[in-house]
Structure 1
């Protein structure tokens, strides 16, 4: 069997859609898409078609249903012995199965027969072959890690059956059935006492073990209660001892003394800190007084120096001011002359400008008249388009059949039609066939021959000459539910028709089309109006009013042409500009002279102010030197006083206690005193609680009960030990018998070893596999002269060996005549870059005569695998 294509409809994330791929070749086919695309969904869909009955509602089938609900449809296209077949299964809703011969277009099997046909092609007995060759995502070994015991047994039997069919019947290898009978008898005896591969107790051994466990649990509880009693006694003694230490008079006196000493030290530190603060204030005041004395001395000396300098500065400023005033008088005369000439030129230019204004007004009135005519025509068109748009919008507002309302109505109509068809399909029908003249009647109406009639619950057929035949049809929950849904669907359809204001679906569709046409007409009219009046009709009306206002201006008689007036005005303005330039230069000269006068006078005033200020600071001339000497002596005395205050502050600071340390020590002493008080209260409460618990346990007599249960436990353990010894003896016997049989099984694994050796050499040149005879699974890897247990290998190596083993099994199936595809879902996830390339080589080696399908999300990593890459097709489900 070879897979050629797959189609999924309404499966998981593909709700309401159909996704498919085809063109799967004989070698490697790689379906490589990003995460969340649905690759594992394809794998599960193939599993469901191969192994799940179409009537199944199990975990796998339930997981295929999308969140939106509905039925699941899967079509698997396969090739068997040269023929192409489409295997289709529908799950959950309208469940069914079919097999279609694609060459002839004929369904060759349905439902149960289809299930049998599928099972023959995929070797589905106990899910054997495909369970070996189809690797689900996350499976490292030959079996899923969470496989149940029954599933593990099925897969083991499939591997054993495969090896037996290739290497020969196991009876020929083990030496006869006598050994098997002895082993079975040993297994039966062992089965009376133990079960499972872990030899879990059963029967009498289980009863002994359970009795031992119950007594041990009871003893553990009693031991714990005794321990709790002893602990409580010890803790009460410790509590009382600690209370004695806390209440000891010497300890209490020590705590009080420590607290009082800490408080005294804190008060002393605070007092000394206040003295330091007062000394610091005196030091700062003396420093400020010394600074002020120095400032006054230096200020008087600087003022005496400035008196001489400012007198010379006043004489120089007075001479500069007289020279600046003379230059200002000359500049003002020249400015007055130019200003008169400019006034004459400005009067001539004003007359020409007035004349040109009259000429321009006449031209503007003419242009405004033409603009008013154009705007009036445009305004008329805009108003017409706005009226058309308003009418279309009014029709739209009066038409309730929107696209959403029509869609809801169509959905309701489809649901009514679907439920009506389902109800009709489920109805009981009778078809009369007459041989004489008598006719069967229903409600007084004779039934026509050959015409089927649907019957309802309680229908009565009148049989002439016989009587009546009453039909009491069973109405199951599903039928009642179908009627309810049909009634609800009819009500929903009527409600949708009422919302649309129509009587039929066709009328609603016509009104919806009309509404859409009106919407288009409104949008077209609005668009034309906006194109003619992009700024709005109000702006257009304002522009028309403005143009008409301009046309109302009347000309004041004939005027010269604008061009002639402009030439005369240009000459007048040239003369005016020339004179204005000369006036500007003259004004600038006057301004410059005025600025120099102002600057010279300001300099003179400033010099006089500075001289007066210097003299004011210096004071009376005959007292200046005496005052300077007095200020120098005062400054010296202030500096001496400041140095003395600084030394006093330094002496206090040097001998000061650490206020922060004293505060911290006080806080510690207070906390210690408070903690002792709280601890005493807690210990008193704890002692009362322990005393109550001790009294309770003493009344229960737990120690006597513990001794009694201990004696019973000793006896139970002896019984369990005897049965455990018997189980061990049976196990040793079984192992000895099995070892004798296993010696003859080396040839049993040779076929799979033969297929596996060349594949292993691709990864490890000298590697080999040891097999576990019972589970028929790889047990250890031999390489480099060492043997490594399979469970101790890295995840990547386990995964690689498991896949190579599956490839070997696939070749054994082919040797037996069963050609089944290998399917890998996100395999090789733990392989490094070097190993994954080697695994790609192994896959391509086997794919020369074996179909392999690989699902992966690792697009870059699997680019080197090669193979065909079919294209996914997705569309809405019909």
Structure 2
């Protein structure tokens, strides 16, 4: 039974932002031919969404229905016929999601509407993210999107089950008999109670396991509470026993007596420690006294040695300096003589260079006078050239641009053209003889020719001659006047009387510009830069310099000047003498510095030795002046004896203090105090524990925990037995179902023959003598032509696409026999078909349209324009 789409209305669905309605679909072949990007594929996607995609889903596919960049609710409304009855589905996605199905028995909404659609179309719930066509049943196989038919694919499980149901009676197997039909649904029903579709434990198993787990938890809890109660009795007895021991320990007085003895020992130990500290301080004081006397003795010995050493070093330093003094004096005398010679040479050089500089300045003044005279001469020659240059530049600036000349010529030609047009249409009259008394437009006439371009009245005595030129002459005359005005305006703007004058003026301006460039080059050559006078290159610099001169200033100067060569030779000799004097002075100074460098450390050494000797003698005198030095040896001996006696007393006090260690005794007392405190704390804690145990035993003892534990254990064993029974039943059902399914799969291989026979009926029209071969999943795998088999994957893309369409038609015919609502929709079909096969395939589709509704969505007008019911997508953006 064919599914027939009658009307499709879209709003806010992808590119269909505005409301769009498509109707007029017939029962047979419908062809929608539109260019690319007009919404054909979107139309097919909208039908799939309306029938198979849940309204309240928010997956990636549903979100893609909204127009790009807009937060709106896509809406779809489809009117269709199924099983000979009229239906309508309205579905809204995303915002305010809803669904409503109207049929012969009324309306359904929400989940009821979704379930009614799936049952009507023979589909199952689609839970995929991108849309699973296998879940769409027969329409998932027969509604073919772009490029989906480019390879041969097997039908989905729903289609295979429907086809097997059709063929079971034909192949005559028991798997299609009434017994199987009665047994298999009951097994599937019971199997669904025990297992899910994915093979995981179902509700019955889950319930039994849940009950078993709950019973085990209850039994474990009861046993735990009973064990805790029994443990509470044991803990109570143990706590009471420990409390008795603590009370006995606290009543014992041995630790108290021991503590009193230790306190008395602390007092004795502290007295011994105080005496030890006193002896230690006394011994330390005597040791410091002995050390001070020993240090004083050592310092006296060191001071006397230092005095002897510094005196010897001072004598050695004076001896070294005396050997260098005479040589140093001679070097100083030679250095003084060299400095005197250098000063005389410098004076001589200074005088020679002063004379040379004076002569140079005099020569420079004479050269300046000469250059000033030349500058004045160039200035006099420059003035007339500058005046000529100014005139040439001014004339050159009046050059009329070429575009203006061109415009003048064009306007002059326009005037000539307009004049010719006026003369061609004007009336010419000639007056000869006696013209007295003749008037033209009220004015006395003159003999000769006259051109009349407008209405003219000629008075001839008592008669009036009216001459009217053609009407077109008025417009030609107007054109002539306008052309003359345009020409006169441009000529006036550039100050010329005619175009010829403009050309003559431009020639003169060009000559002036060339003459200006020549004058500029000549002036530039006459006005070079004069560094001696500080004059830069150019006429303006020369004019500025000459304008700043006084008439009487800077004369030509004397004819003769000083002898610069002789003065230069004298200056060079003075330079040589100065160089020799500087060399001698530098050598003498170097020698003197070397001697002084050798003398400097000796002086420093002698000064240091003298200072060390004085310091050593002063330190020795200070030490010998102390009062302790007189009887130093006797005092040192007596102090050592006293230190030895104090050391003996210190040792006796330390032995006495060691016998009674205060820290050790205090640690023992702390241990005894801590032991008593811990015992008291433990007693309090035990009393708390005993009270808690007694309270818990009193609370739990009357609840019958033992009986409850026994009952819980019995219930857990019963639940375990029930779980084992349920699992055994589940395994049995699974084995039975798998066995039936395996037998069914084995038997289904016998279905391939009928499927191949039905498909061959369509395929032979395209490929005569071809024998198709199907796999167990009813997918076309190969074809046999001329005894040779070919895999479908090795065929051309066009042949694969054609076979995919034909096998779908074969399955559609089988589904029609089952009464399944089917229709065929092909989006952009047969793109790789040649002309002959395309014609044959359109014939096959036309024939199929007599059994079911067929909708072709294509952009190929030439290939499909002659087919079926032509529908336009009006209103598509």
TM-score interval, smaller chain: 0.3 to 0.5
Question: Whose Rg is larger?
Answer: 2
**Which TM-score applies when normalising by structure 2?**
0.35
